[in-house]
Structure 1
Amino acid sequence: MSKKEKASKVEDLSSRRFQQMADENRELKVYVADVMQRLRQNERLFSRMFDLESQVLKSTDPEDLCFTLLRGLRSSFELDFVRFWLDRSSFIGGHKLGSLSERDLVWVEKDEIREMGISRKQAWLIQLSPEHAFDWLGSQDQHLGSIALLTLGDLDRPFGVLGVGSIDRDRFAPDQSSDFLQHLAQVVGLTLEHAVAREHLARLSVTDTLTGSQNRRFLQPHSHHPLSQWFGNVTQVSCLYADVDQFKGLSERLGEEVGDNVLNMVSKALHKHVRSSDPLIRMGGDEFVLLLPGCGEEKARDIAALTIQAIAESGVVEGEQITASVGVAFSSANRDLAVKELIALADQAMYVAKALGGNRFEVADSGEDSGH
């Protein structure tokens, strides 16, 4: 091979090497650009996630938290579908979450999440088609192209599933990374568990452990405020103040356990003819306050009479007839008393009923003999 041919061959090899390096450089630039784009996308995603987490942490209860998550996920992440499936038998099953529609929340039965196989991992990415559907979706969800299913709670004992979806079939394709979605599943699961625990502790702090009614601590934030601030400007409020007749002597003679049983019976009698949302407060000892927003005078009198009757008809406890004295007071929109003022009026009427022999109710400021 001549020198000229050798030089030509070297030049050709160098040219091809430079071309190869140029190609590799272009590929590297494309790769770096793609990585940088993904980093910027992830940065935006986590920035939105941080903002959403901040909003979630401000939520006051599980219902508010779920609503915040649903609204935030739809708006911040441009999702066409967001829905909770929650296990009715789990710790969250005791929360009605009434502000969430069927579009937002579906209750599932015990072990249904496990039977669907969803609890095997934290996040599932599914492309949807007529041949590959998801059983929990309805006819109103046929527009979806892909969904991600996020398992909430411990995989051994999941309490729910969060579904997020898009009309884009590639948005949650199985080959996509699920790191962000797994993080989202953990955040949502933990915040919901903590919200339920906080609400439970808050409820315990204002609940009478013996009777299940509210206690004085429940009343304290409202006590000095006008009734309209609690129940609304145009709402008439009635109040019953109940006290068990001769309770101290009965408890001393028959023992604390019998006394506790009597208090539980009286609490149930007070609840019997009213709405579950009407505040019943054990003021201490054997005294109870029942607040009845939107209840007129005639209806309040009927409830007082029925309560007296229910307590008396509860029977004899170890030879002792159980009775109670009840005071009734009213406040209307044109007489907007403070909460504590209305309670004080009913308390005074209760003492009148007790002085007249008990087992009866009296109405405050009636101006006439209204004993029954």
Structure 2
Amino acid sequence: MHPSELRAENQALRQQLEDMLREARANEDKMRRFDQLEHRLIAAGSLGELLRLLLLEYRPVFGIEFVGLTLLDTQLEIRSILDAELHEHTALPGLQLPPTLRALDALDLDQRPWLGAYDAILHGDLFGAAPGIASVALLPLSRRGQLIGCLQFGSSDAARYNSGAGTKFLERLAAIASVCLESALNQERVKRAGLTDVLTGVHNRRYFEHRCLIEISQARRHSQALACLFLDIDHFKPVNDRHGHAAGDAVLRAVGLMIQGQLRAGDTVARWGGEEFVVLLPRTPAAAAREVAERIRQRIADQRLPVGGGIELAVTVSIGLAMLELAGSPEAAPLLQAADAALYRAKQGGRNQVVGGSAAPP
């Protein structure tokens, strides 16, 4: 072989070796970053923190333009958890919580990641209006053989995700994300079980007292209105005396559901004790809070509640309304006492009415 040909071959081999070393270093760096993210996912202390890592941290770490997450939420459980933790689940861009996985069913995904060119018709529902996507990776998330959602990656590089690319990293990420999601949800369920009133299904007093301090702190920090409602079912004792405690329980459950049905995501309702309920309305001025209270009162007054044995009862509620004094005590007691005092005036004034709206005394 001619010396010039040997030199050319050596240069070609040297170039191949450099390319292989460069790829090995890139893979090593990719694995290091993946391991760091993996440990952070496993160590996430809440569902909100876990979702933030997936949706906000993955994109800059791995240099892609879009990360989305679709999670099945048939009972609005995830939405409720995130609204309580983050106030608004929309604080997590790219998160979708559909009641069904129709958008995924149409793709006929199996248990392994799917890589390929972006198709607006096929993938538009998953990626929304994200611009400039050329290739996508869809990572099915499943537990015990059941599809629970999908992690979506989108890149402007058409060659980034193609059908011939390896999926080892993506398969591992999907498996870890699925396990972490199930673990986070189970932890939230355990926490909520200890903070939920067993009879009515709304929060209990312990949760409310904890939430109240958080909302007061937020309201004062951002100079936002915070309203508190105390609600009491009128003439509740005769319901138990005449129809039995099972009928009384049915009334409590129905009233709790009707109150909850008139509130926004981010509002809080709890059973305070006996036939009393309490509600927090963040970022709600007095006039709007009175409208909510009147809506709750009217909704309950308009219903006849089935309590078993073919019996239906008409019940009403009295409501006391108080507004947080932004310059007052950091404790919850003044706000609750003001709402309770307003409730007392509503009861004394004839029941089935809303009383209050002035600021809580300092």
Question: One fold, TM greater than 0.5?
Answer: yes
2:256 is aligned with 1:264: no
Structure 1: stretches of 5+ with no match in the other structure: 1-22, 367-372
Please tell me whether the aligned partners of residues 228 and 235 of structure 1 are also in contact (alpha carbons under 8 angstroms). no
- The 5 A counterparts of 1:312-331 are 312-315=301-304, 322-331=315-324
- Which structure has the greater CA radius of gyration? 1
Q: Distance in 2 between matches of 1:273 and 1:92?
A: 18
1:110 aligns with 2:95: no
Q: Determine if contact 2:59/2:65 at 8 Å carries over to the other structure.
A: yes
- The equivalent of 1:49 in structure 2 is 34
Q: Pairwise mapping of residues 240-259 of structure 1 onto structure 2 (< 5 A)? A: 240-259=229-248
Equivalence for 1:285: 274
Which of the numbers 180, 188, 199 marks the counterpart of 1:191?
Answer: 180
Q: Which amino acid aligns with 2:123?
A: W
Deviation of 1:158 (Å): 2.0
Q: 1:125·1:147 contact (CA, 8 Å) conserved in 2?
A: yes
Deviations 1:286-343 (CA, angstroms, capped at 9, x unpaired)? 1111223344445555555555554444348758763444333333334456322211
Is 1:343–2:336 an aligned residue pair? yes
Alignment of 1:103-182 (within 5 A): 109-110=100-101, 112-119=103-110, 121-126=111-116, 128=117, 135-136=122-123, 146-154=135-143, 156-182=145-171
The alpha-carbon deviation at position 258 of structure 1 amounts to: 0.7
Counting only pairs closer than 5 Å after superposition, residues 50-129 of structure 1 correspond to structure 2 as 50-57=35-42, 59=44, 61-87=46-72, 97-101=89-93, 109-110=100-101, 112-119=103-110, 121-126=111-116, 128=117
Q: Which runs of 5+ in 2 are unaligned?
A: 1-8, 83-88
Instruction: Return the alpha-carbon distance in structure 1 between the equivalents of residues 297 and 120 of structure 2.
Output: 60
Partner secondary structure for residue 338 of structure 1: coil
CA distance in 2 between partners of 1:223 and 1:63 (Å): 20
Give me the whole-angstrom Cα distance separating, in 2, the residues matched to 1:360 and 1:61.
40
The answer to whether the Cα contact below 8 Å between 1:225 and 1:339 also exists between their aligned partners in 2 is no
Distance 1:358 1:276, change over 3 A: same
Partner of 1:14: none
CA pair 231-313 structure 1, distance change in 2 beyond 3 A:
farther
Question: How far has the Cα of 1:165 moved from its partner?
Answer: 4.4
Shift of 1:185: 1.7
Counterpart residue identity of residue 113, structure 2: A
How many residue pairs match? The answer is 339
Task: Using the aligned pairs only, state the percent identity.
Answer: 28
Q: Which moved further from structure 2: 348-357 or 43-52?
A: 348-357
Displacement, 1:259? Answer: 0.6
Indicate how the Cα distance of structure 1 residues 174 and 274 shifts in structure 2: closer, same or farther if over 3 A, else same: closer
**What is the CA–CA distance in structure 2 between the aligned matches of 1:354 and 1:116, rounded to whole Å?**
58
The CA RMSD measured in Å over matched residues stands at: 4.4
| CA shift digits 1:204-246 (9 cap, x unpaired) | 3323233332211212324567824456542333322222234
Cα distance per residue 1:165-223 (max 9 Å; x no partner): 44445444444432222112212222223233333333333232333322112123245
- For residues 94-117 of structure 1, the C-alpha deviation after alignment (integer angstroms, 9 at most, x for no partner) is 578423446x65969535534423
2:218 and 2:181 map into 1 onto residues whose CA distance is 30
- Find the counterpart in structure 1 of residue 6 from structure 2: none
Q: Using structure 2 for the length normalisation, give the TM-score.
A: 0.72
Are residues 258 and 179 of structure 1, via their aligned partners in 2, closer, same or farther at CA, if it must alter by over 3 Å?
Answer: same
User: Structure 1: how far apart are the matches of 2:121 and 2:313?
Assistant: 63
One-letter amino acid matched to 1:346: A
